[in-house]
Each structure stands twice: as C-alpha cells, then as structure tokens.
Amino acid sequence: MKGYRLFLPVLLFVFGIVPNYFGQDDARTPVSQSYVLEVTYIKGRPMTYQRIGGWTWYAGFQLVPGFKLPAGVLPVEAVKFYTREDNGAVKLKVTILRGKNIEFEDYVAEYTVGLDKIAIRELANFGVVPFEVSLVRSPSTAAYLPKINNSTKSLIVSVEPVVSNMPAYKIRVLNSSAKPVAGFSYNTWLEGSRRYTGMPQQFDGTPLITPGSSYEKVFPYALKTTTQSTGEVPQPIEGLQLNVVAVIFVDGTYEGDRIEAARFRGYKIGEKIQLSRILEVLHSKSAASWETLAPKVDQLTYRISAADVGPLLTEFQGLPDAEVENLRSAAEVSANRIEKDFAVTFGTGKQIDPSVFPAAVAAAAAKCQKWFDSLP
C-alpha cells in the first residue's frame, strides 16, 4: 500500500466553445439527466461515478513517486470535484483539501468535460497522480431496494424506489418517540464490505426530526465495480443491506450502538466547546468595535484536546483508544466548521459597517447562546 493515501473520515472553469457531443435528441434534455461523471483515481482500481451538480470529494488516491512537499505545507488529504451544467456543457472545478480535518482548500484547475477522457494533470503539482474523468451515458432506472436492519426502537425506517439516472433509493425515517431526535447513524453493506456510512444531523442546534415527523433523503445504490469504461454507468448489485445502528435524542440519550452514539456526541460537544469560546469573545470588551474584535476572532482556536472531551469519556467509559481519538477528532471537526463560519463574518477578512456592527454582534451572540443552550 506504499504510495497511496486511503482515508475513511467519520466524503474550472476552462470555459470556451464546447463541441456538440450529445446529438440532437440529447440537446433538448439537460445533460445532467442523461450523463454522469466517470472518475478514475487509481488506474486498475474500480471507477467511481458522480452526478452532475453539487460536489464529491475523493479520499483515496495515489501519490507521485518522489514528490516532496515544500517546507511547512500540509499534505493533501482529499481531492474535491464540483460539477455543474452550463448551457449544455459540463463544468468541473477541482480543488484539494489539506489538514487533519480537511479544513484548508486550494484551487487546482477548471475544465469543460465531454465524452473524451481528460487527465487532471495539475494534480501532479500537489503530489497527486492525476485523476482521469469523462462523461458516460446514464439512462434513468430504478434500483433494487435494500434490506433494512434497524437497531433502534423509536425510528420507523422505510425505503422506496427512485427513478434516476444514477441508481438510488429514498429512505424515510419516522420519529415515533415523544423526544426530538438530534441525529442517527447508519451504514450500508454489500458483498461482505461496508459501502456507505453517515450521521445525519442539523448544524444550528435544531432537532433533525421532531416527534411524529420524518426525515427523508435519497441515497445512492451500490454499483457493479469495473476498471474498464463501457461508456455507460454499471448496473446496480442486488443484496444491499441498510443498517440504522443508533439514534441520539436532543437530551443526549440514545438507542442502539454505544460507540456510534459516543461519536455523535463528540460532534455535539465540539459544537458546545467552540460556541463557548465564541461567546466569550462576543461578550468581551473587544466586541466594542470591528477593529478590536476581528483580531480576537482570528486568534480563536478550534483545536480540541482529549481533556476537552473528558466529560464524554466519563459518560462512555471503557471506549477503545481508537474510539477515544475518533471522538476527539469528531469534536474538532465540528469546532472547526463553526469557527470557519464565524471568522468569515467577523474576522479581519471582512470589515463590518460600524452602523450595523452592534446589531450584528448582538444577533450573533443570541444565536450562539440559543444553540449552546440546546446542546446536552
């Protein structure tokens, strides 16, 4: 495995004249309904497929042999693709993510993508062996439905087919309890290996599912693996299992897997720690003006230590060392996300009109306090 970066974290515009790749009939239909992006990130490994519109990041890639980073530069942790349709052409923006919590993003290149394969050669400048991309046909189809394994009592989980140009299904999660749900944890398995994991949750202190309400989301269905392009998306594989392994309520109680619940609570304690840091700054004398507040905002840390998550380690005693680190890392991911959003508004990069500054500070403090008070 030497020379590869394989991570499982808790996942361009060269505009110009675009040839008519798609024919007369396809010209009347959005490209995003008939084509998807085919991505080769390591030759000889299975290709992946990405819908047009939105973004996806890839945490598995091959390093350029002998490449050395400049002093002080963090290594690349993931490659991120943004795609969109523009007047019948597909635009691809490529960035790389750095930092343990992928908190730093650097621009790489911009492309117009068609049926001919393109190598993202600029990735080599960052030590990453170039990915290859092209469009492939993807006719609308209905995928198989997964088998459901629900380890909770309060969630009623159902699935239904979705007709889409990428095999998918819709999950519906009903909260049958009297307590609001903060989030839940799920994974999918197929042919003896885990395919997807997730922890749906809100990032503003509000519940994910109130009592009697439902959460709905369209999930991708696993495809047959292939290392050779056929010009079309591979067929789905029958036999997917959807496991809902834990539900965590707003009050901090949970049902299901203890380790998954601890990890989810890690995200939330990270939010609480960072909100307390922000509130301290907003209530300080530095908040009297933007000139005095902005430097303090820039100095805020989002780092989380094992001691910071000590209360959770007491609550979830006996966690394996690896899970203790996962919990701390989850807390740091949340703290970093909140800090970045706060710095965008109040840091030195954006000056605030003095006439609205006091109201902006008051509104931010009220929002943070309400969010903080909602967390267990």
Kindly give the pairing relationship between strand 147-150 and strand 241-249.
parallel
**What integer pLDDT is reported at residue 3 of this predicted model?**
43
Provide the token pair at 41: 């990130």
Which of residues 352 and 28 earns the better pLDDT score? 352
**What integer pLDDT is reported at residue 15 of this predicted model?**
24
User: DSSP code of 250?
Assistant: T
Tell me the pLDDT of the chain averaged across its residues.
Answer: 89
- With a pLDDT cut of 70, the percent of the chain lying above it is 93
- The secondary structure element, H or E, covering residue 60 is strand 60-62
| 127-159 residue pLDDT tens | 999 999 999 999 888 778 999 999 999 999 999
21, amino acid identity: Y
Instruction: Compute φ and ψ for 188, nearest 5 degrees.
Output: -125, 145
Distance between CA atoms of residues 227 and 268, nearest Å: 40
| Contact indicator for 86, 6 with CB cutoff of 8 Å | no
Distance between CA atoms of residues 281 and 276, nearest Å: 9
Q: How many CA atoms lie within 13 A of 116 on its CB side?
A: 6
CA neighbor of 135 nearest in space, from 73, 92, 94, 178: 92
| Contact indicator for 43, 3 with CB cutoff of 8 Å | no
* Banded pLDDT at 27 (limits 50, 70, 90): very low
**What integer pLDDT is reported at residue 20 of this predicted model?**
31
How many other CB atoms are found less than 10 A from the CB of residue 311? Answer: 11
* Banded pLDDT at 310 (limits 50, 70, 90): very high
| 49-68 residue pLDDT tens | 999 998 999 988 999 999 99
Which of residues 1 and 117 earns the better pLDDT score? 117
CA neighbor of 326 nearest in space, from 195, 185, 194, 189: 185
Task: Give Cα separations from 235 to 6, 52, 142, 276 (angstroms).
Answer: 25, 18, 10, 49
Q: Which residues contact 141 (CB under 8 A, 6 or more apart)?
A: 163, 164, 165, 167, 236
Residue 11 has pLDDT above 60, yes or no: no
Residue 14 has pLDDT above 60, yes or no: no
Distance between CA atoms of residues 277 and 282, nearest Å: 9
**What integer pLDDT is reported at residue 65 of this predicted model?**
94
User: DSSP code of 166?
Assistant: S
CA neighbor of 306 nearest in space, from 277, 336, 333, 329: 329
**What integer pLDDT is reported at residue 201 of this predicted model?**
96
Provide the token pair at 87: 């007047």
Domains of the chain: 4-137 (no CATH), 141-254 (2.60.40), 261-374 (no CATH)
| 252-298 residue pLDDT tens | 999 999 999 999 999 999 999 999 999 999 999 999 999 999 999 99
Residue 34 has pLDDT above 60, yes or no: yes
- The pTM is what? 0.79
How many other CB atoms are found less than 10 A from the CB of residue 199? Answer: 18
**What integer pLDDT is reported at residue 100 of this predicted model?**
76
- With a pLDDT cut of 90, the percent of the chain lying above it is 74
Q: Which residues contact 297 (CB under 8 A, 6 or more apart)?
A: 281, 342, 343, 346, 347, 348
User: Averaged over 74-97, what is the pLDDT?
Assistant: 94
| 215-233 residue pLDDT tens | 999 988 888 889 999 999 9
Residue 13 has pLDDT above 60, yes or no: no
Residue 237 has pLDDT above 50, yes or no: yes
Residue 2 has pLDDT above 90, yes or no: no
Residue 10 has pLDDT above 80, yes or no: no
Distance between CA atoms of residues 250 and 154, nearest Å: 13
